[in-house]
Structure 1
Amino acid sequence: MTLPWHLDVLGLPAHADEIAVRRAYAAAIRKIDPATDPDAFQHLRRAYEAARTWCEQMDTAAATSGEASAGGPAVAASGAVDKEDKPSLEESPARPVDYTVTLAWRFAADVGAHRAEGIQRMLDDILVELRTQYIDAPGQFEEHLIDLVGLQRIAHRAEVFAAAEMRFHWDEVGHLAALGQRGQWVDVVMSQREAWLTLAVDRRRAWLDLFAQAETRLDNALLRHWPEVAKLNERFPAWLGLHLSGETLQAWRAGFDTQAAVAPRRGLRRLRWHAAAILVVTGIVGTASIAIKDFVRSPSVSPISLPSASSPQDTPLRCMELYTELDKADAFAGKQPDDVAALKTRAHRCQQAGRWHAQTRASPSLSDTDAMPH
């Protein structure tokens, strides 16, 4: 059996599948320099395209033959391999993983391990390596990269998006349309970015700083900003996804709800504390006021209460006798402290009544009964 020319150019057997075709093309293109030998490059590329078409026809024929033998309608089998062979990031273990998928995950790992400043250089290195592979490799890697960013499975998503936008020329007319739903998502992000740029520069910077802090740690100071973040997320959901992960947004909302639920209970406890403090202060002020009034009414600091004005001890005669007794140098000698205090109290009362003086010659001799106040 004579091999088709395209398989012969690629050095493949008759049973080669599309994956084998791509691998053979990647190996062959490394040996050709398109700049110095463009004819050989074009011949290899035509062989690659012809081999892919041949593999597709063989797959379709095999599927149709199998269904016809089973008595079923001649339609494409539900489990047939995608003709464009663009593997997603969720490859089945039973299906060989495309090289570009492995390269995309490797790029994601490198981005997570390095600073954002090196993303452009790393992407350039990847593209250089992809150009040595089969012709569709850069386009497939581009699709995988969009998936990584859109599904938030790569770090520094805003920087990766900006680098990919430049390297894959997303601003060219028709480029995003060729990417299907992925291109539509990219277009939405770019449109929301234009709307974001209409905000004041200082506000944008402040928000980006808050987003970076939230991705690291959500504290109470950040939680109170959730209402504003929620409004931003409603307006720029795709663009915001480059800066805040879905997990962070959910945690932010849940933390704010918890904080809002706890705040009324804290306010009630604070109100009760204030009320109790007011009662305590009021009690202290009332007690102090009573004490001051008592002090004003009674200048004496003696703890012994003064006798009433109607007491027989208040007579002028007894006051003069007490004055004479306490005027002595040894007036308190041999007396108990309580007796001394009582004598001082009586002396103070006599002084208040204007009777604290010695008996003079002009002073009449009064009996206790005559001296009683009327």
Structure 2
Amino acid sequence: MAARRTEDETPAFLQVLGLENDASAREIRGAYARQLKQIEPAAQPQAFQELREAYEFALHWVAEDAKPAMQAEPATPEGIRQLQHADTQATARAMLEEFKQSMSGQPPRDTEDARLRLRATLDDPQLQDLDARFTFEGGIANLLADGWRPGHQHLFGPAILCFEWRTDRPRLKAYGHAGAIIDKAIGELEIHQTQPAARREEQRDVIRDLRRETPPTHGESRYSTEYMRQVIASYPNWLRVVTNTASLAQWQEDGVVASRQSRSNALRKFGKALGILVKLLLVLVVLGVLGWAWLSEGETMPHGTGLSATEQDHAPGRIVEGTLGLPAASHGDVRK
């Protein structure tokens, strides 16, 4: 390889990448991938643009500097092939890291947004090499199989179409465990799509709720936790890609705590209501006893005969003058 520039000054684009004058293309790609992990393209667009430009300038600089060496030092076909393979692998990994940062920094709004992003990356000239494309495709398979993140539900469909996974399922075997998960997920998606419309809509309610940070309330949920568990058991691989199935365990734990609190609150309310009822019964009992005592006392008191004075004079058993053999006083006696 031709001698690199030996002056002390390091180009600005290499300084951005934290590299020296003798950096290789592989080192440039590695530095780019490392720094890209520390930047969120959506939140730091200027920093991302600066890093991207430094990366492209550095690759161009290395390529131009290497031309005389390639002409002066003949290389074997195998050596050239290995160098090219290493470069394409590094390129694909760097582009994959860039795509992942874009997904996490600003998740796609819908399936069309995800499709346009994926298509734009695949159309990049650096991914036209078959080795680079294979590496990038495997990285997307691993990204999806590793578990749901916001936006993955929109990426799964475009990835199936762009990489032709549905029509060429055997190729997924090349990606090992991740490929096996994606293959099973596609099969489960097809089973879901054969369900009646009403059943699909019920299952979509579960799928949407599994992406929420908090569980649906009792009033919001139109299904039981047991039904959610059944849906997850029916599509374990597909839901692993498009939902956060780990939410179910947390929601169940939260549900147990909430149920205990609800029972405790219900018992406290019942105790208060029971106390009030007992007090009311005691008041009623006291009032009843007082009423009974008052009525009983009224029955033992002497009552009038209810007869007029004349009737009382002639009533049987009444002692009046002229009875019992006693002479009645005459008017004359009185006058005397």
Global fold match (TM > 0.5): yes
Asked if 1:218 is matched to 2:247, the reply is no
TM superposition shift of 1:152: 3.3
Match of 1:119 among 101, 111, 114: 114
Partner of 2:182: 186
Q: 2:275, 2:226 → 1: CA distance?
A: 35
SS in structure 1 at match of 2:165? coil
TM superposition shift of 1:239: 1.4
Does the CA contact (< 8 Å) of 2:92 and 2:133 recur in 1?
A: no
Asked if 1:231 is matched to 2:230, the reply is yes
The alignment-based identity, stated in percent, is 14
Q: Which has the larger radius of gyration?
A: 1
Asked if 1:202 is matched to 2:202, the reply is no
Q: 2:157, 2:278 → 1: CA distance?
A: 64
Q: For 1:116-152, what per-residue CA distance to the aligned partner results, in whole angstroms no more than 9, with x for missing partners?
A: 4422122211211255665433322222222222223
Partner of 1:364: 313
What TM-score do the two structures reach when normalised by structure 1? Answer: 0.52
Query: Residues 124, 17 of structure 1: CA spacing in aligned structure 2 closer, same or farther, 3 A cutoff?
Result: closer
Structure (1 or 2) with the greater helix fraction: 2
Opposite residue 202 of structure 1, the aligned amino acid is A
SS in structure 2 at match of 1:144? helix
Query: Residues 234, 121 of structure 1: CA spacing in aligned structure 2 closer, same or farther, 3 A cutoff?
Result: same
**Structure 2: gaps (5+ residues):** 3-22, 31-55, 61-75, 321-336
Partner of 2:136: 141
Match of 1:164 among 153, 159, 166: 159
Q: 2:242, 2:283 → 1: CA distance?
A: 57
Q: For 1:318-366, what per-residue CA distance to the aligned partner results, in whole angstroms no more than 9, with x for missing partners?
A: xxxxxxxxxxxxxxxxxxxxxxxxxxxxxxxxxxxx34xx534x54189
Q: Which has the higher contact order (CA 8 A, sep 6+)?
A: 2
TM superposition shift of 1:255: 1.2
TM superposition shift of 1:262: 3.7
What TM-score do the two structures reach when normalised by structure 2? Answer: 0.57
**Where in structure 2 are the equivalents of 1:254-265 lying within 5 Å?**
254-265=253-264
Does the CA contact (< 8 Å) of 1:18 and 1:52 recur in 2?
A: no
TM superposition shift of 1:234: 3.0
Opposite residue 186 of structure 1, the aligned amino acid is I
Structure 1 window deviating more from structure 2 (159-168 vs 219-228): it is: 219-228
Aligned residues: 257
TM superposition shift of 1:230: 2.4
Structure 1 window deviating more from structure 2 (210-219 vs 262-271): it is: 262-271
SS in structure 2 at match of 1:136? helix
Q: 2:276, 2:210 → 1: CA distance?
A: 39
